[in-house]
Amino acid sequence: MQSTKTIFDSETIRKDFPILRRKVHGKQLIYFDNAATSQKPKQVIDAMDFYYRNYNANIHRSIHQLGEEATAKYEEAHEKVAGFIHADSYENIVFTKNTTESLNLLAYSLTDGLKKGDEIVISQMEHHSNFVPWQQLAKQRNLKLKFIEIDGEGNLDEESIKNNITKNTKIVSLTHVSNVLGTINDVEEIAKISHENGALFVVDGAQSVPHLPVDVKKIDADFYCFSGHKMLGPTGIGVLYGKKELLERMQPFLYGGEMIREVTFDDTKFNDLPWKFEAGTMNIGEGIGLGAAIDYLKNVGMKQIQNKDIKLVQYAMDKIKGIKGTTTYGPKERGAVVSFNIAGVHAHDVSQILDSDGIAIRAGHHCCMPLMSILKVPATARASFYLYNTEEEIDKFIGALGKVKKIFAI
């Protein structure tokens, strides 16, 4: 791919994604399920293919050429991630399986010093991945789990932020961008409030890192979690960023090979960061694939991607709102998702009819059942966009929504 720093040419970009050429039910695929997982450019597929064909070996242990090459590439991927989110060093970057595992790691390892009655604050818009681990920890340790409320627009309520984060709060864990409402939370401000109250601030960045420039130091996040597969990378690789002094103090989540420095019959000394948290044989090919995804995103430019997302999502919102009987959820200023319902039609039916036209969206509770109860709906349909989508595709999608209405005679 040529450098697209100045020109964001959808056609050039689309050529990098082999899957976009396929047909579904005889129709050209339109892929609007990017919040669930993104498609992969050939650069990522090739990087993984090259690894398996040419230097597949285990890392950090094999004293041979292949092992050294694999180790170098895998470590380089940590450096690329660090640079991408403006972390100090690869030592801040722990590879996990996904955002879910990164958040679980924290819920297991951040428990030192927590005592009965201490409070953890999340919000009503959290994905189950940033909800259930804290809920279970609270139950096991007799802690109090509190929820920042959302207002009528789908933003975090400012009063509720101030009322919930207090001197009793030990951990605040919030999503940067909501996977349902698209809300972009002011994580920099909430980090400040958390720290003023002596709490740690964790960010679920599953929907932000793929779509906008993220600077973990500017945010002053203590921990920041995201998934490779939503940012053009492969499945099976995720990231936990953490401040060094905090990671150093934390107990490892998994014990075993490679996370150790020395083991005796009596005790174990743990490895240096970040390897202390990467036990056993890791997803090496996937880590290398994530490195290639970061190269691709950087080459296009995160600001460019963000601008394109905004254009697409606003275009889609305007068109959906123009269809009688539709409700959209969330604020006007948003990330690249639009959740909606058509009165009298279940979201699953919307998705199924769109699928017959080759259009892939998501329908359901989006792993946000508590939020659905606040919105008072069992499910929504959700279209989510990424750098390879176009306004022409949105026009076809809007046409297909007309077909849904016709089928249901509404």
Ligand X SMILES: Cc1ncc(COP(=O)(O)O)c(C=O)c1O
Which residues make up the interface to ligand X (CB under 6 A)? 35, 98-100, 127, 129-130, 175, 179, 204, 206-207, 227
Q: Which two tokens stand for residue 240?
A: 């936990």
Torsion of the alpha carbons at 300, 243, 250 and 96, rounded to the nearest 10: 0
Mark residue 392 as left, alpha or beta (left: phi above 0; alpha: psi -120 to 50; beta: remaining).
alpha
Smallest CA-to-CA distance from 330 within 192, 172, 175 is with 175
Give every CB contact of residue 11 below 8 A, 6+ residues apart in sequence.
none
Task: Give me the least distance between CB of 316 and ligand X, in Å please.
Answer: 18
CA dihedral sign of residues 222, 225, 231, 233: positive
Give every CB contact of residue 257 below 8 A, 6+ residues apart in sequence.
279, 280, 281
Task: Give me the least distance between CB of 177 and ligand X, in Å please.
Answer: 7
The smaller minimum CB distance to ligand X, of residues 226 and 270, is found at: 226
The smaller minimum CB distance to ligand X, of residues 105 and 404, is found at: 105
Task: Give me the least distance between CB of 109 and ligand X, in Å please.
Answer: 17
Secondary structure element (H or E) that encloses residue 254, with its range: none
The smaller minimum CB distance to ligand X, of residues 99 and 271, is found at: 99
Question: Pick the catalytic residue: 24, 36, 360, 367?
Answer: 367
The smaller minimum CB distance to ligand X, of residues 207 and 380, is found at: 207
Please say if 367 is a catalytic residue: yes
Q: Would you call 10 exposed, middle or buried from its count of C-beta atoms within 10 A (0-12, 13-18, 19+)?
A: middle
Cβ atoms 195, 161 nearer than 8 A: no
Smallest CA-to-CA distance from 38 within 399, 297, 374, 221 is with 297
Cβ atoms 383, 31 nearer than 8 A: no
The smaller minimum CB distance to ligand X, of residues 164 and 175, is found at: 175
The smaller minimum CB distance to ligand X, of residues 70 and 240, is found at: 240
Q: Which two tokens stand for residue 395?
A: 């026009």
Task: Give me the least distance between CB of 204 and ligand X, in Å please.
Answer: 5
The smaller minimum CB distance to ligand X, of residues 99 and 123, is found at: 99
> Residue 384: beta bridge partners?
33, 337
Number of DSSP helices (H) and strands (E) in the chain, helices first:
14, 17
Instruction: Name the residues annotated as catalytic.
Output: 367
